[in-house]
Structure formats: C-alpha cells, structure tokens
C-alpha cells in the first residue's frame, strides 16, 4: 500500500498546470491513479530484473506490458500527455519483446528501467504540483525508439512512425483514443478462437478476478450515471474500467471481448467528451455490453475461451449509438432496440454455454447436475472459486483507520490495566471472573489489531533487486541477490523506518563488500557474488541479516583508516581485537571506500544506519571474515506502539524505561554502596564484575531533588549506542506493558524523554529516552574513550574474553586461573585431611582426592599446615574423571577479561603475567602444577590434552 493516499488531496491547484490541466472532478481519479501506479512501478522494477534473468519468460513480459499499458491508458485519459508518450514508446518496445521480434539486451533493460524512473518522477511531480514537471524526456524517448530499430529489417515500425505517433498523442483531445490504438492495432497473430495458452494462465486468472470486481462496480456506476448523466467522475470510472478490460483482452488475445469493449469504449469516450448525451437506449446498450463482457469472462473462466455467442448485433447497436442520428434512429424504433438489446441479454442467458453465467447464484442441485455433466470441469470450477475467494477475502483499509484502531486498543489496554489493579481488592467473584475475561479478550484484540498493521518485509525488499542491479552495472560487478523470509512481518511504521538503513547496507555490501569479477576469480571464487537477505522472527524480535560472500572487512585497513581519521588513538588501536575493529565502521565519520564513489561512501555512513536502527529500538552487529564475506545482523522489535518497560521511581514520580535498553538491575545496600562506588575525578563508577560502569544519577539529570532518604542504591544497568552505563534511581517498581504516547510539541526539545504513558491508576509517567539521557549525561560522548580503552584492554590482541578466577596465596598477590578449568570451589576442614603415602588427600564425593598446596608448588612460601584457620579453600580441577584440589589462601573474584600474556613465565607453574582489573596477576599453569606435584595424575591418560585451554 502506498502512503500517498494518506496525503492531502492531490492537485487542488490547477493554475500552473503547464503541460496538462486536470479538472476538479478528476482529483479523485488522479489520486487513485497515483496510488495504483506507484504500486505498479515497484512491481515493474522487480519484473524487469526478473526478466533479465530469464529473458524468455512470457509471464513476466506480460505483467510488465500490462502495467505499462494501464499506466499509459490512464494517462491518456486523464490528459498527462508527456507521461503517456514515454509510456507509449516503452510499451511499443515491450510489445516487440513480447512478440519475439526483439531480444532483451542489457541496454534495453536499462532503457526500460530508465523509463520506469521517468514515470516515477513524473508521478511525483503530479502528486506535488499537479503537473508532469518540466523535465524533458525526449532523449529517453529517442533511446527507446532507437532500441526498437536496432535489430533492423524485421522491425515493423519505422522510427519516423513512432515519432509521429508520439507527436500526435501530444495533442490532448485525441489522447485517450490514440492511447489504446496501438494495442488494438497490434493484435497478436493468434486465431480468433484461440484457446488460452498455458503460460498465460496466471495472467488470465488475475485478469478475471480484477475484471469481475470492476464489472460489479460498473453496473452500479452505469445506474448512477443514468441518474446524473453529467457526472464526469462516474463516467471516467466507467471508461477506465472498460479501457483496462479492453487493453488486457487485446494483450491476452481475447479479440471478441476486445471488440465489444472497444465499441463500448468509443461510445463512452464520446459521452465523456460531452459530444453525446446519455439517453436510455445508450444506457441499456452499455448495460448489455457489461452483461456480454461478464458472460464472456465466465466462459473464459470455465472453458478457457470466449464462448461462441455472436455479439455482432450488440456491436452494431453500440456503433449506431455513436452518432446522434444513429441514436435517434434507434430511439425511433424503441421496440426494435429494446428488443434487440433485451434479446441479446435474454439470448445469452439461454445459450448453453452461457448458463454458467448464473451458476454462481444457482441452486445446489442445479450445480450438482452441472458438475455431473461436466465432471472434468470440476478442477476449473474449484480454481475459480479459489480465485474469487481471494478477491472477496481482502479489503483495502485506510492506514488512518488502523492507526485510530491501534490507539483505541491502547486505551483499552490501559483501562484493562486499571481494572486488573482494582480487581484483586474485590470480593465479588463474578467481577473477578469478568475482569479475567476482559484481560484475555483485550490481549487477543491487541494482537489482532497489531497484526493488521503487519506487513511482510518483502514490501521493501522488492526494490532491492533493482538497486543491486543498477549498482552492479555501475561498478562493473556481478551480483546475485537472494532473499529468504520475504514473508516475515513487522509493523508498518517499522517497515518505513528500516527502509533507508537497509538500502544503505545493501548498497554498501554491493559497493564495498563484493569484489570485482576479476578479483573474485583470482581468489578462486565464483565470478558472480551473492548477496543474501534473510529475515526471521526470533525471541519477539525481527532479525534481518545481510550476508555477502565478498572480500570481507580487513581489520588492519579499518585500523589505519580509523587512525588517519582520528576515530581512535594509536594506543587504543593496538589493543583492539579484530571484531572491535570491524565494528568501528559504525563509528561516526567513517567511510572505508578507497575511492569515493557516487554509489556509497558519501561520508554519511554506517553510523547513520546504526543511529536510525537504534532509534526504533533495534540493534545492528557486524561480523566479517576477511576473504570470505561479511554478515550484518539487524534486530528490531515487532512493534513500537505498545512496549514492555520497567517502571522506576525517583523524586516521587514514576518513569518508564523501555525494556530493550535494560541489561540488569543492581541493588547495593548502604555500606556496600559506600564501598563499591568509586569516584574518578568526581564521576562515580561502579565495578560490575570487574568492568567499570559509569554511573548517572537520574535525579541530577532531571534536576529534581531526592525525596526519600535511603542508603541503598538502585542501579539500572542500561545500554545505549553500544555503551553501558548505570542509572541511579530511587526505587524500582515492576515491568509493565505500556502504551507509548507522544509528547506535545512544547516538550519535543527535551531529549531525556521519548514520550509518556498512562499508568494503571490513570496517572501519567514519562518514558525515558535512554539514548538521549546517555548523551545528555555525556556517557556516550565523554566517556567514549575511556570505555573504548577499557573494552579494548579487555579485548587485547591475545584472544577472546575469558572468565578468570582470581585468588591469592599471600597477602597481596593475585593469581588467575581460567574458570573453564575449574570444576568447583570447595571448603575443607583441616581435620578432614588424611595422608595417603606422601600426599595429603580428602574424601570428596565418594573418591579420594589428592590435595596440592599451591604455595608449596609455586615455591612462594611454607605451608602452615597447622594454621589456626580451620577451613581451607580448594579449587577443584578435574581431568579425565579424576579430580585434584588446589589449596589456595583466599578466593578474590571472578572476572571476565581477555587473556593477554604480557610477560613470559619465569617461574614454574606460571604461564605468564597478565593485567586483570588493572592489577598485575600471575596466570597459573594448572596442568604444569598438577603434573609436578603428582606425575601420576595425568600420565595414565592421553597427555595430548595437556595444553588444552591454556
């Protein structure tokens, strides 16, 4: 569906129409035309691309031809001559392609695509200014003409003729009639009685569905028209319907139908131009024509031909009615005419083939009888029912109505919340049951209405084949676009919102991602690159992946560019991991194109993409393997109108925080808070599992004063723009589904709020804009370097993040061991230790587990086995079903850090030195220690496993 119908009525201003004027009655028609044409053009783009893949495909060609023809016909009728002439030339070219007179070449495809663009441009001019704009398309027309004659001798139309035709059509009066003449005059060389080609089948079906719809309206329109003969709107509508039917008939090769429609159209044309006035004989004849068309359609539907009824007398009458004299003549002999027309209609009803006309209303037994008679037709009948079913089972609804419905459902959700809050206090069981029921129904209603706003993502993907094709042509690459999960649905507003970011990503992938054919071949890849779009639902979110099999992103290149553009410092760069580096492409002011092309790399790059996606509560992530390709993953919520949120209180007011931004909640009691919140230059930070978390006080940010005095600190850990920060609030209530309401314009400037919502008690709560808040608190901007370096420090060059267990043997030392090597942490009583040979052991889980005193093993000091401490801390290390307990002095912490060995080992049992939490820490070589202490422990089993994990 296109948005244009939502806009203000198009073209109220007629004063400046330079190339064409529209009269007032046309406004609505023009609007409808615009909406329809935009839709058609999107389809057209895709069709043309498909056609290029399979040039012989008659279905695609037909679809294209038909679209252009419809546009052309309508333009001619409304009086958009410039648009019409462009469409006309395109149609001629398409006609030849269809007839096989010409072959599709890239040049032709490009020209046709250019034509589509031209049409789109003119349509947008019409929409905005009510005229076709002042761009001169004669060059395009010429090119299109040229391309029709390239193949020389067998081209039936001379270039001169085409030019002439175009010029002729510029004369507005005759435009409409001229428009369809090419079609009428260039029928396919098919025998009149030709059965419909199998290839045509889908087109014919579509045609039937559409035509039936149109005919129903036609009947109504004609009756109305008789009431008010001067109504141009109705006339136009009728004319258009007949014209569409006629055009399609001509194309499919239904010449009998076409002829009837054609004379009818001529008559209508004259009526419309005011040359003739509508009188009862004319109305009757037109109605008879509608009946005739309907009859033929039903024949086509069931028998795949137009039936054998002869309509020449109807044609004759319609022809006669074209002149006033003829009409008078007919009117003079009313009996004759009436009879003839009646007869026609009657006759049809009784002609054997025609009995199907009424079959839809026929009684079941008649139908059964019929089926029995024509058992073999059953399949066709079923199909027809199906087709009709599709036409009947969907309606177009104005987006505004859906929006209003959505709002009302929002209200209902609020009312429901209020009642649910109130219900538990009631003792009336009926009331409680009813409120439960209300709850269920509301939830279902909410889902249902939400569904109506859902659109398949294919709607925006449909333009990508064109984008990719144009791009690959422009940069000389071969790219195949594949799509998976086109039918994945998401909210219409979101669809609109991700359109541009997605387009940008796709363009980027084509421009930077996929290599030139030569390079690909040199790298042993298929010449043709593949760009895969994949969409799917996962965990209440929509995932969209854009995968290319191109050159991938070279972290080193990113690093050097980032350095040259001062995005990061050398020091930071040195400590960044590959993945971190790759994600730098989302940093502001980053463009990796070696040369700036007009395709992408215009400075506004992926940072805008990320901002836009995050604006709608989504996230984007990139993974790249150099030489193999890149995967971009975009995650977005299903809808924005009703979101889950955490309700917090501060300074006596409630605020809602969207759940998408929420990571975790931390509560610190008074003493703990004092101890663990540290200050760096006055900026409070908290160590969250070893990472520094900048803290922001909501009270300070909102400039409100604390109300309740409490020692406990509540930290809401949030993420925005890839950064984490802790928001200090006074109280945390609950999570709730909230309905997002916009704020008035007076409050739009406050970046800390994204909207407001009505709570269960009817009071309001402001929704915090986490992103805006972070920016305001300068978590994102000011602390960026800090957190970057922090992250990169932990990323390190050495490898992935690891979770480390930190423990100590002496007063101040720190030793780390990968948590993955630790089976359990245990405490043993000294009195439980027994001796076995020269080794201390304990009974542990039904086994005898040897103990190793790490102090002893690492030669750091004597073990005070008789120490006053009764409990011993043991780190249990398990290998091959055998366990050993490492006795340590104290367990300090578990942190997640990257293991970057800074200094080699100079002691036995130590792999090296690392920095953890900014402190020098020894990394324990567990296997070494165990083996030194108890050579037998590992000997029995495969020694290869020794190095694992270290």
Q: Which stretches of the chain bind other proteins, using CB under 8 A?
A: 410-411, 414, 651, 653, 702-704, 741-747, 750, 752-753, 756, 758, 762-766
The packing angle between helices 464-475 and 27-53, to 10°, is 50
Pick 756 or 910: Cβ nearer other proteins: 756
Least gap, CB of 741 to other proteins (angstroms)? 5
What is the bridge-based pairing of β-strands 815-818 and 919-924? parallel
Q: How far apart are CA 785 and CA 796, in angstroms?
A: 16
Least gap, CB of 601 to other proteins (angstroms)? 37
Least gap, CB of 685 to other proteins (angstroms)? 24
The packing angle between helices 334-350 and 324-332, to 10°, is 80
Pick 363 or 745: Cβ nearer other proteins: 745
Q: Where are the beta strands (DSSP E) in 662-752?
A: 662-668, 677-680, 683-688, 691-697, 713-720, 723-729, 731-739
Least gap, CB of 436 to other proteins (angstroms)? 23
Least gap, CB of 751 to other proteins (angstroms)? 9
Least gap, CB of 740 to other proteins (angstroms)? 10
Q: How many helices (H) and strands (E) does the chain have?
A: 33, 30
The packing angle between helices 280-303 and 334-350, to 10°, is 20
Pick 758 or 930: Cβ nearer other proteins: 758
Q: How far apart are CA 461 and CA 495, in angstroms?
A: 10
Of 712, 718, 717, 703, which Cα lies nearest the Cα of 731?
Answer: 712
Pick 387 or 697: Cβ nearer other proteins: 697
CA atoms within 13 Å, Cβ hemisphere of 533: 26
Least gap, CB of 410 to other proteins (angstroms)? 8
Pick 352 or 744: Cβ nearer other proteins: 744
Q: What is the DSSP letter of 25?
A: G
Pick 412 or 901: Cβ nearer other proteins: 412
Instruction: Please report where in the chains the tokens 């052309």 appear, as a residue.
Output: 72
Q: Are 863 and 898 in contact (CB under 8 A)?
A: no
Instruction: Please report where in the chains the tokens 């008879």 appear, as a residue.
Output: 288
Q: What is the DSSP letter of 741?
A: B
145-150 CB contacts, 8 Å cutoff, 24+ apart:
145/89, 147/93, 147/102, 147/107, 147/108, 147/111, 148/89, 148/92, 148/93, 148/96, 148/102, 150/102
Least gap, CB of 130 to other proteins (angstroms)? 24
Least gap, CB of 402 to other proteins (angstroms)? 18
Q: At CA 547, angle to CA 545 and CA 548, rounded to 5? A: 160
Least gap, CB of 702 to other proteins (angstroms)? 4
Q: In what order do the strands lie in the sheet with 919-924?
A: 890-898, 801-808, 815-818, 919-924, 910-916, 903-904
Of 699, 710, 668, which Cα lies nearest the Cα of 685?
Answer: 668
Pick 30 or 656: Cβ nearer other proteins: 656
List beta partners, residue 643. 738
Least gap, CB of 652 to other proteins (angstroms)? 9
Q: Which are the contacts of 939, defined by CB distance < 8 A and separation ≥ 6? A: none
Q: Three-state SS for 436?
A: helix
Pick 702 or 874: Cβ nearer other proteins: 702
Q: How far apart are CA 689 and CA 917, in angstroms?
A: 10
Least gap, CB of 653 to other proteins (angstroms)? 7
Pick 333 or 764: Cβ nearer other proteins: 764
Least gap, CB of 445 to other proteins (angstroms)? 16
Pick 345 or 651: Cβ nearer other proteins: 651
Task: Give how far the C-alpha of residue 908 lies from the chain's centroid of Cα atoms, to the nearest Å.
Answer: 58
Q: What is the DSSP letter of 511?
A: I
Pick 176 or 739: Cβ nearer other proteins: 739
860-864 CB contacts, 8 Å cutoff, 24+ apart:
860/809, 860/810, 860/813, 861/809, 861/810, 863/887
Pick 120 or 741: Cβ nearer other proteins: 741
Terminal CA-CA length for the chain: 59
Pick 533 or 758: Cβ nearer other proteins: 758
H-helix segments, 355-428: 364-373, 378-393, 399-422
50-59 CB contacts, 8 Å cutoff, 24+ apart:
50/465, 51/104, 51/109, 52/104, 52/106, 52/109, 52/469, 55/103, 55/104, 58/98, 58/197, 58/199, 58/200, 59/199, 59/200, 59/202, 59/203
> How buried is 57 (Cβ within 10 angstroms: 0-12 exposed, 13-18 middle, 19+ buried)?
middle
Least gap, CB of 746 to other proteins (angstroms)? 5
Pick 681 or 705: Cβ nearer other proteins: 705
Least gap, CB of 919 to other proteins (angstroms)? 41
Name the CA dihedral angle for 60, 66, 72, 78, rounded to a multiple of 10 degrees.
Answer: -140
Pick 622 or 767: Cβ nearer other proteins: 767
Pick 324 or 736: Cβ nearer other proteins: 736
Q: Three-state SS for 902?
A: coil
Pick 704 or 863: Cβ nearer other proteins: 704
Least gap, CB of 19 to other proteins (angstroms)? 34
Least gap, CB of 637 to other proteins (angstroms)? 22
Pick 305 or 418: Cβ nearer other proteins: 418
Q: Three-state SS for 438?
A: helix
Least gap, CB of 781 to other proteins (angstroms)? 19
Q: At CA 723, angle to CA 722 and CA 728, rounded to 5? A: 140
């Amino acid at each position: 569906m296109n948005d244009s119908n939502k806009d203000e009525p198009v073209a109220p201003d007629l004063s400046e129409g330079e190339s064409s004027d529209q009269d007032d009655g046309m406004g609505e028609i023009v609007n409808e035309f615009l909406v329809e044409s935009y839709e058609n053009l999107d389809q057209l783009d895709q069709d043309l691309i498909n056609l290029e893949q399979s040039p012989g495909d008659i279905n695609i060609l037909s679809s294209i031809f038909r679209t252009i023809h419809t546009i052309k016909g309508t333009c001619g009728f409304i009086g958009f001559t410039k648009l019409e002439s462009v469409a006309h030339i395109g149609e001629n070219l398409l006609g030849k392609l269809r007839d096989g007179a010409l072959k599709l070449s890239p040049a032709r495809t490009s020209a046709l695509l250019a034509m589509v663009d031209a049409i789109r441009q003119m349509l947008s001019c019409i929409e905005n200014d009510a005229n076709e704009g002042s761009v001169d398309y004669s060059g395009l027309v010429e090119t299109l003409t040229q391309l029709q004659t390239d193949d020389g001798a067998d081209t039936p139309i001379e270039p001169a003729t085409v030019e002439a035709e175009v010029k002729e059509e510029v004369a507005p009066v005759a435009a409409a009639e001229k428009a369809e003449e090419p079609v009428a005059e260039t029928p396919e060389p098919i025998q009149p009685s030709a059965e419909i080609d199998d290839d045509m089948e889908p087109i014919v079906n579509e045609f039937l569905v559409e035509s039936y719809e149109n005919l129903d309206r036609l009947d109504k329109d004609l009756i109305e028209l008789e009431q008010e003969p001067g109504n141009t709107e109705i006339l136009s509508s009728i004319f258009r319907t007949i014209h569409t039917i006629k055009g399609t008939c001509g194309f499919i090769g239904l010449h009998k139908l076409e002829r009837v429609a054609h004379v009818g159209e001529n008559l209508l044309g004259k009526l419309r131009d005011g040359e003739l006035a509508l009188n009862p004989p004319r109305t009757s004849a037109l109605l008879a024509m509608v009946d005739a068309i309907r009859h033929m359609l039903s024949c086509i539907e069931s028998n795949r031909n137009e039936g054998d009824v002869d309509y020449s007398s109807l044609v004759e009458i319609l022809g006669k009615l074209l002149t006033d004299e003829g009409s008078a003549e007919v009117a003079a002999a009313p009996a004759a005419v009436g009879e003839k027309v009646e007869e026609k209609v009657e006759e049809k009803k009784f002609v054997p083939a025609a009995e199907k006309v009424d079959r839809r209303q026929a009684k079941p037994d008649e139908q059964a009888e019929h089926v029995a008679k024509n058992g073999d037709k059953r399949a066709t009948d079923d199909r027809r029912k199906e087709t009709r079913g599709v036409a009947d089972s969907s309606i177009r609804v104005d987006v505004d109505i859906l929006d209003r419905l959505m709002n009302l459902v929002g209200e209902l959700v609020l009312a429901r919340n209020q009642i649910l809050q109130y219900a538990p206090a009631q003792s009336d069981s009926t009331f409680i049951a009813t409120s439960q029921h209300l709850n269920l129904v509301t939830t279902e209603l909410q889902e249902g209405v939400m569904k109506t706003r859902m659109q398949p993502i294919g709607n925006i993907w449909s333009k990508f084949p064109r984008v990719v094709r144009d791009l690959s042509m422009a940069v000389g690459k071969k790219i195949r676009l594949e799509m998976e999960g086109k039918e994945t649905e998401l909210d219409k507003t979101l669809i609109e919102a991700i359109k541009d970011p997605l387009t940008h990503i796709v363009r980027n992938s084509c421009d930077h991602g996929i290599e030139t054919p030569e390079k690909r071949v040199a790298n042993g890849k298929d010449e043709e690159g593949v760009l895969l779009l994949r969409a799917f639902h996962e965990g209440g979110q929509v995932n969209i992946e854009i995968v290319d099999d191109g050159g991938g992103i070279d972290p080193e290149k990113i690093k050097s560019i980032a350095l040259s553009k001062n995005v990061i410092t050398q020091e930071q760069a040195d400590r960044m991991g590959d993945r971190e580096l790759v994600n730098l492409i989302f940093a502001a002011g980053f463009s990796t194109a070696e040369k700036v092309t007009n395709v992408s790399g215009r400075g506004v790059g992926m940072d805008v993409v990320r901002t836009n996606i995050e604006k709608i509560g989504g996230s984007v992530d990139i993974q790249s393997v150099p030489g193999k390709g890149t995967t971009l993953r975009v995650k977005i919520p299903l809808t924005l109108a009703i979101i889950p949120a955490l309700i917090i209180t501060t300074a006596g007011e409630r605020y809602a925080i969207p759940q998408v931004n929420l990571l975790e909640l931390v509560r610190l009691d008074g003493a703990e808070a004092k101890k663990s919140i540290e200050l760096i230059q006055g900026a409070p930070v908290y160590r969250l599992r070893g990472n520094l978390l900048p803290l922001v006080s909501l009270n300070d940010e909102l400039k409100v004063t604390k109300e309740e005095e409490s020692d406990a600190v509540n930290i809401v850990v949030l993420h925005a723009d890839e950064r984490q920060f802790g928001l200090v609030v006074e109280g945390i209530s609950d999570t709730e589904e909230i309905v997002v309401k916009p704020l008035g314009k007076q409050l739009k400037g406050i970046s800390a709020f994204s909207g407001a919502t009505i709570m269960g008690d009817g009071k309001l709560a402001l929704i915090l804009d986490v992103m805006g808040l972070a920016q305001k608190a300068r978590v994102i901007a000011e602390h960026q370097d800090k957190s970057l370096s922090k992250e990169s420090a932990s990323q390190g060059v050495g490898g992935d993040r690891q979770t480390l267990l930190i423990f100590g043997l002496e007063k101040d030392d720190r030793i780390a061991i990968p948590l993955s090597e630790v089976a359990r942490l245990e405490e043993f009583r000294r009195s439980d230790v027994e001796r076995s040979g020269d080794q201390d052991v304990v009974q542990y889980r039904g086994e005898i587990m040897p103990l190793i005193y790490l102090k002893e093993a690492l030669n750091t000091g004597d073990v005070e086995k008789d120490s006053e401490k009764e409990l011993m801390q043991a780190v249990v290390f398990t290998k091959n079903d055998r366990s050993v307990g490492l006795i340590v002095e104290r367990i300090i912490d578990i942190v997640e850090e990257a293991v970057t060995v800074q200094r080699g080992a100079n002691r036995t049992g130590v792999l090296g030195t690392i920095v953890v939490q900014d402190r020098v820490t020894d990394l324990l070589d567990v296997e070494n220690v165990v083996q030194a202490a108890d050579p037998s422990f590992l000997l029995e089993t495969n020694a290869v496993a020794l190095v694992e994990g270290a």
